[in-house]
A and B are shown apart, each in its own frame.
Chain A
């Protein structure tokens, strides 16, 4: 379907309008001096990248991972170390972070894919903990104190990708998100995507059909690891600080990715991205506004967040996009393109 005819359908027009609004948003926030909405948008984009990547392995491939913080952390550290120790621009560093995370994914796949279903899920949690614990005493990369980039003079801002606020990073994240959408769309609609879904539905039957599960899970792991590592790299340049506790965090990295993925609809293509755009604003705004309105009831916002998630989970268990597809409001993306 060509672009002009896409624009003529209501949904196509709506998507195009959403993309246009999205592209304009950081500039508008910057002009109006609104760093908080900008940061929230960045988190949506970043977790969108992460959840989309996670969905390839865990949604399409059915290999439920609670350890994606590994790739995130490795990507963040790689970008930071290349910038601080080798003076390599993060423009390369972010991609390198993805590459190293992909390699780590390939390495981890060897032992982890010997396990299936919940055993695999448990092993990913364990692996993430191992990474966190082994980065803590690693002195060369800052140990438990982590690494912080110094503030560079304005003329070097572009090389070191150092800007105040989240505005510029929103565009960086959009760039990588666009690349990810293209790559994942291809992978999912290729033989690899179908094989992965076959493995998810019944691994033994898939094997009987001549599919090598190890090979296709490995492809999913490497691609998933790459884009998660890229997400980590974006985090590292945006906050200019990494430590093992922040980037290998079980809840705020590994589990948030899973929540965004499930919330949006994990068997759908675009679902995890939608999930991130629903989940991150809720966490951010609930935290900020509940804490500032009711400062005496610190922690109340976590409760509010829990209730909101519970309501969504009970009313649309198949995820937002999954529900839309089921009701026929949205057709599966691959049928339209």
Chain B
């Protein structure tokens, strides 16, 4: 059942991604990208990544959609028609896509417990994090403790982006009489 849902949701995501490419009304595109993100969140629940699903639903489907709708109040809502399909773009995408698919032939199969990724540091996190860090949620332990520097870097990125957004938008406001 869960496997069937996995296939169906991935199929719906492909349809949403193609509709984003196809539609010209940017409001519809913004809503579709929110729906796409929410489908992604559902897929993460199926793949056992509940923390990621929460974050994706709140940040990806929530905040990102609000930011896009906010932008659309300031810029035109329709994409200009008449843009021809890009042959160079199609070629690039086809070449990159086939190279990537060729590269996946070496990958471990879906759900394979013997995949190398499951035998490096993850077993140690599962075994020792309760004693070493405390929270029952191992993702929290890894995020805040074992890989705390990543999270510090993430905070720096958000801070920098916030400064950038404020600098860009405040400048426009000052110009007006």
Q: Do A and B come from one complex?
A: no
| A contacts, CB < 8 Å to B | none
